[in-house]
Structure 1
Amino acid sequence: MDLDELQRQHDEIEALLARFRQAIADDSSPQRLGALRWQFARQLMAHLALEDRIFYPNMQRQPHERLRDTAARLEMEMAPIAQSFSAYIARWSDDRIAREWGDFCRESREVLDRILHRMHKEERLLMPLLADAGLVETPRIRQAG
């Protein structure tokens, strides 16, 4: 399990998220963001797949009960966020975005905030436990956001 890779992916997702937020900052001025939206979606879905197939199953095999319990809780909490994101992507076609730009911006900000908060929560709760278990040397813990 490569925790540096997971952190690198968090960093990439956060950078894309910031670009996405900037593109939707003005509810009154529609932007063309199809490529950015799909790039963000692909990166996020690839990351979630890695977590589902490798990261969280590995956490469940760790001898540290608190790490296992925290990872299990976070994994369970992620399912509705992932489902919500998939529904959001399906709901907003390029045509609908152009017609309902303001609504798209508002919903997008909510979705992006939920994802960012979740990533930071994962880092804040799991990284210290991973360090305690000797799985990472120095945890990088971001503030809630």
Structure 2
Amino acid sequence: MNIDKFKHQHVDILRRIAALRELTHAGVARNAEAIAQGLVAMSAVIKLHLSVEDQALYPALQRGDDAALARLGQRFQVEMGPIAAAFDQFARRWNTAQRLREDEAGFRAAANDVLRRVHERMRHEDRDFYPRVEAQHAAAAAC
């Protein structure tokens, strides 16, 4: 399975996290509109990414010949559940400029926690999961 699209989405999401971080450092109240818009846009990308993983990537691994990779995929999918739920709750809570202005400290604390978890998870996938998927794809193509 070609996972280039997944990898490009990771780059996009990481870029969006960095942009939110910059806006937050420059001032939550001053940048509340842009932060809220960025969060809504990033949420759409993350939801699409997770949906395609759940509907295409993980099932393909389960149907494949590499049982160890299938188990690894299943573990990654299960582990993503709480991270995705936390991000969804975060995105729903902080999706308006008014809420951001009303509780800057709460937003900063939540963003530091949730966005760090999303960032770390994507790095983990990029380092430990996607290379295995690519190697399996390359091996299957060579046959």
TM-score bracket relative to the smaller structure:
0.7 to 0.9
Alpha carbons 1:28, 1:102 under 8 Å: kept: no
How many positions carry a matched residue from both structures? 136
Higher helix share: 2
Structure 1 stretches of 4+ with a deviation exceeding 4 A read 26-30
Q: Higher relative CO (CA 8 A, sep ≥ 6), structure 1 or 2?
A: 2
Q: Bigger shift: 12-21 or 30-39?
A: 30-39
CA RMSD between the two structures: 1.9
* Offset at residue 105 of structure 1 (A): 1.3
Counterparts of 1:84 and 1:127, CA distance in 2? 23
Q: Bigger shift: 120-129 or 16-25?
A: 120-129
Give me the TM-score of the superposition, normalised by structure 1. 0.84
Q: What does 1:129-144 correspond to in 2, within 5 Å? A: 129-133=132-136, 135-136=137-138
* Offset at residue 21 of structure 1 (A): 1.2
Counterparts of 1:21 and 1:88, CA distance in 2? 15
Counterparts of 2:115 and 2:2, CA distance in 1? 25
Segments of structure 2 that go 5 or more residues without pairing to the other structure are: none
Alpha carbons 2:6, 2:49 under 8 Å: kept: yes
Counterparts of 2:107 and 2:30, CA distance in 1? 10
Match of 2:114 among 92, 111, 129: 111
Alpha carbons 1:10, 1:119 under 8 Å: kept: yes
Segments of structure 1 that go 5 or more residues without pairing to the other structure are: 138-145
* Offset at residue 113 of structure 1 (A): 0.6
